A and B are shown apart, each in its own frame.
Chain A
Amino acid sequence: MSTEGRGQGAAPASLDTPILSVENLVTEFRTGGGWYPAVRDVSFTVQHNETLAIVGESGCGKSVTALSIMGLVPPGNGRISGGHIRFAERDLVALDEEEMRKIRGDRISMIFQEPMTSLNPVLTVGFQVAEALCYHRDMDRREASAAALDLLEQVKIPSARQRFADYPHQFSGGMRQRVMIAMALACRPELLLADEPTTALDVTIQAQVLSLLAELKATYGMAMIFITHNLGVVASIADRVAAMYAGEIVEIAPVNQLFARPAHPYTELLLRSIPRVDRDTGNLSVIAGQVPALGAMPTGCRFAPRCPLREAVCTLRDPPLVALADAPDHHVRCWLRAPPVGGGHD
C-alpha cells in the first residue's frame, strides 16, 4: 500500500470538509429473536485537528458508535443497518473487510479502555509497537524497531531503549496505556478513537495520559473522538461534545457552550451530577430511573420517562435534533428546549 497521497494538508481544499462525517447511523444488535438498534439515527462530523467527545451513561451507544466507525461490529450478532460513515471521501459502511483492514490501524486507530489486557502477554512491547509498522508500512524489522523505539520515547516511556524487549506484565497500567497509544499512533492515523482510555487508570495517571494525548494530537495534527462517561475529562480535552442517551445523540455543542448552557434536560442533569469543589451545594443531584433496555424503548422521546420537564408531546413523537435559534452549532433533541422551526409540537 502506498504511503504517499495522504496525510494532512495533501489537499488544502479538504481541510474545510470534515475528516469524518457520520450520517444517520443505525447499528443493531440481536437479542432474543429480534434486532434492536443500539445506535439510532446518529449523525455528527469531526473536523481536522478537532476533538469530539462523546459522553453518556454505560450502554448509551458510545462504544458501539466507535466500533461502527472501525467496522468492528461483531458479525452475526451485530450489523450496521443504515446510514453512512464518510471518511476521506469514502463510505466506510460500503467497504469490504479487506479494504477496511487497510484503513484500520493505519488511517483510523483506536485505543481501548483496558490497558491491562489489551497487550499480548507473550510478545514483547517493542515487537507489538513495531508490528503495526511492518504490517501497514512494509518496513523491515530493523526500520520498524527503530521507529517503534522512537514512538515509545514520544509517549514518554522512561528508559524506552532498555524496556523495548520487556513483556507487558513488566509494565504498569499507565505505562501499558502509553504503549497502546504508541501502537495506535504508529502509522500516524488521521483519526484516533479513544474509548474511555483513562477510565481504568489512577487519577494522577489519568491526567498524565490526557495531557500526553492532547500533546500528541497537536504534534500529529490528527482528529480525535474521545469517548468517556467522565464529564470532568471532557472539559479538559474536547473541542465539541456530543451527549448520547439510549442510542441517540441528544445534544451536540462546542464544549464551552455545553458546559455554560446545557439545553437538553439530560445534559443539564448530567452536569448537575458532577461533584464540584467550587460550589457548596450539599447534595449531588441524581437522575431518577435508568436507561431503558434495548428491547423496551419508550415511544416518543427516549428520555421522557426520566425527564422532569415531560409534557404530553414528549411521549407521543420522536423529537428531531435541531439547532438552537440563537446558536447554529448547538443542536438539541428536545421538543421543549429546541422546538423545530415552522412545526410546533401540538
Chain B
Amino acid sequence: MSNIAAAAPSASRGSSYALQQLARAFNANATSWIGLVTFLVVVALALLAPVISPYDPLNQDILARLQGPSMSHWFGTDSYGRDILSRLLWGARLSLVISTVSILAAMVIGGIIGILAGYIGGRFDMVVMQVMDVLLSFPSLIMGLMVVAMLGANMGNLMIAIALTAIAPFARIARAPTILVKERDYIEACRALGYSDLRIMTVHILPNIVAEILVMGSLWLATAIRIEASLSFIGLGVRPPTATWGGMIREGFENILDSASLSIFPSLAILLVVFSLNMLGDGLRDAIDPKLRGGE
C-alpha cells in the first residue's frame, strides 16, 4: 500500500507525459539547445542585474556623456552619461517581466477560449473565432498603439496591449487540436464514465494539447519582446528614465551621429533574445510535430 502511495503522485500528473515527450523532442534538436542556453544566460544576467551591473542605471555623469566603449564603461555611456551596460542589464529585467507576464496571460486566456470554442463547437465556436479573427487582423503594433493611447503608457497597460494581440493566436493554436482530440474514443469513454465537460476539458484534453501551446508560447515570447521594444521606441512604452531596450534604442537613434554604440548594443540585445527564443521555439516545433501527430 505504501508503494502505491508513492506511485500515486507520479500517476496523477497528467501533463508529465506531454512534457516527457517535449523533452525527448528537445534533446534531438541542437538548435533548440543553443536557443535555450542563450535565453537562460540572458535571464540569469537580468536576474543578477543588481549584483553585477557596474553602475546604477539611473546615475547620471554629464561629463562622461556619449562615450564609446572603454574599460570603465564597457558599452559606453548615453546622452546623460549613464552606463549603457548597466541600463541594458536592468532593461532586460523589464523586457523579460513584461513579455513573460503578458504571454502567460495570453496563453491562459487564449488557451481557455480555444479549448472552449473547440470543445463546444457549433455557433459558439463560430462567433468566438470570428471575434478572434477580428483581433488577429490588427497588426500587433497598431493594437498596442490603440490600447496604450486609450489607457495611457505604463507597464501594466503595455502588458495588456501585448496580451491582447497574443490571445487570438493562442486561441487558434488551442482550438485546432481540441477539435481533433474531442472526437477520440477516449473522450467518448470519459462521457460514458459520467465525467463533466469541465473535467474532460481540463484533465483529458488539456494534457494532450499543452505541448503545442508551450511551443507557441516560446515563439510569442520573442514577439512580445519585439512589441515592447517597438512601443518603447515610439515613446508609448515605459516612461524614461526607467531603462528599457526600446527606449534606449530611441535615445541612440536621436544621437546616432554622436555615438553609434548607444543604439547598437540594445539592438544587439533584442536581436540576441529574439533569435534565441525563435531558435528554441522553431526547434521544439519541428521536433514535436510529427511525434504528436503520430504518437497516438
Q: What is A's interface to B at a CB cutoff of 8 Å?
A: 70, 72, 76, 100-106, 109-110, 112, 114, 117-124, 126-127, 130-132, 135-136, 141-142, 145-146, 149, 161, 164-165, 167, 180, 183-184
Is A112's CB under 8 angstroms from B188's CB? yes
Known: A114-B185, A161-B4. A135 touches B11 (CB 8 A): no
In the complex, the chain B residue whose C-beta lies closest to that of A193 is B192
Q: Are the C-beta atoms of B17 and A167 separated by less than 8 Å?
A: yes
Which of B1, B196, B295 is A101 in contact with, Cβ under 8 Å?
B196
A161 pairs with B11, CB closer than 8 A = no
Closest B residue to A120 using CB positions: B186
B194, A117: Cβ atoms closer than 8 Å? no
B63 is an interface residue with CB less than 8 A from chain A = no
Does B17 contact A110, Cβ atoms closer than 8 Å?
Answer: no
Q: Does B5 contact A (CB under 8 A)?
A: yes
Q: Using C-beta atoms within 8 Å of the partner chain, give the interface range for chain B.
A: 20 to 34
Interchain residue pairs with CB less than 8 A apart (18): A70-B192, A72-B188, A101-B194, A101-B196, A110-B189, A117-B184, A118-B189, A119-B189, A121-B186, A121-B208, A122-B14, A122-B18, A131-B195, A135-B195, A142-B8, A149-B4, A164-B11, A184-B193
* Top 5 closest pairs, chain A to chain B, by CB: A105-B193, A104-B194, A105-B194, A117-B185, A145-B8
Kindly supply a per-residue 1/0 record for chain B positions 166-209, scoring 1 wherever the CB is within 8 Å of any chain A CB and 0 otherwise.
Answer: 00000000000000000011101111111110010001100110
Task: Provide the residues of chain A in CB contact with B3, threshold 8 Å.
Answer: 161
A67 to chain B, nearest CB (A): 9
Instruction: Check A126–B7 contact: CB distance below 8 A.
Output: yes
Given A120-B204, A122-B15, A145-B4, A112 contacting B194 (CB threshold 8 A): no
Known: A103-B194, A109-B192, A145-B11. Is A119-B5 also a contact (CB below 8 A)?
A: no
Q: How far is the CA of A112 from the CA of B190 in the complex (A)?
A: 11
Contact A102:B186 (CB < 8 A) given known A122-B17, A164-B4, A167-B17: no
| CB of B193, distance to nearest CB on chain A (Å) | 3
Residues of B within 8 A of A141 (CB): 8, 12
Q: Known contacts A112-B188, A120-B204, A123-B204; decide if A132 and B7 are in contact (CB<8 Å).
A: no
CA distance A131 to B204 in the complex (A): 11
Contact A112 B185 (CB under 8 A): yes
Rounded to whole angstroms, the CA-CA distance of A196 and B57 in the bound complex is: 72
Q: Is the CB of A117 within 8 A of B186?
A: yes
Question: Quick one: which of B5-36 are within 8 Å of A by CB?
Answer: 5, 7-8, 10-12, 14-15, 17-18
A121, A122, A135: the one contacting B193 at CB < 8 Å is A135
Given contacts A120-B190, A135-B199, A161-B3, 9 further A-B contacts (CB under 8 A): A104-B193, A109-B192, A110-B192, A119-B186, A121-B295, A121-B296, A122-B207, A142-B5, A164-B7
Given A109-B192, A146-B4, check contact A127 B185 (CB 8 Å): no
Whether A104 pairs with B192 at a CB distance below 8 angstroms is yes
> Given that A126-B11, A131-B203, A135-B199 are contacting pairs, would A105 and B5 also be in contact in the complex, using a CB cutoff of 8 Å?
no
Given A123-B204, A141-B8; A132-B14 close (CB under 8 Å): no
Q: Give the chain B neighbours of A106 by CB distance below 8 A.
A: 194
Chain B residues packing against A (C-beta within 8 Å): 1, 3-5, 7-8, 10-12, 14-15, 17-18, 122, 184-186, 188-196, 199, 203-204, 207-208, 295-296
Q: How far is the CA of A184 from the CA of B194 in the complex (A)?
A: 11
Determine the chain B residues whose CB is within 8 A of the CB of A127 once the complex forms. 11-12, 14
For the complex formed, measure the closest distance between the CB of B278 and the CB atoms of chain A, giving whole angstroms.
27
Q: A124 to B207: give the CA distance in the assembly, Å.
A: 12
Contact of A120 among B1, B4, B8, B208 (CB under 8 A): B208
CA distance A141 to B14 in the complex (A): 13
Q: Measured between C-beta atoms, what is the minimum distance from B213 to chain A in Å? A: 14
**Whole-angstrom CA separation of A100 from B195 in the bound complex:** 11
How far apart are the CA atoms of A103 and B17 in the complex, in Å? 31
Let me know if A123 and B8 touch, CB within 8 A. no
Query: Which B residue sits closest to A136, measured CB to CB?
Result: B194
Flag if A102 contacts B12 (CB, 8 Å). no
A149 to B12, CA, bound (A): 14
Q: Return chain B residues, CB-CB under 8 Å to A104.
A: 191-194
A183 to B208, CA, bound (A): 20
For A161, list chain B residues within 8 Å (CB).
3-4, 7
> How far apart are the CA atoms of A282 and B46 in the complex, in Å?
84
Q: Provided the pairs A117-B185, A146-B4 are in contact, do residues A123 and B192 lie with their beta carbons within 8 angstroms?
A: no
Given A114-B185, A141-B12, A145-B11: A72 and B192 interface contact (C-beta under 8 Å): yes
Contacts of B195 in A (CB 8 A): 101, 105, 131, 135
With both chains docked as a complex, state the minimum distance between the C-beta of B186 and any C-beta of chain A, in angstroms.
5
Interfacial chain B residues near A124, Cβ < 8 Å: 10-11, 17
B211 to chain A, nearest CB (A): 9
Nearest CB on B from A153, distance (A): 11
The CA-CA distance from A123 to B8 in the complex, in Å, is 12
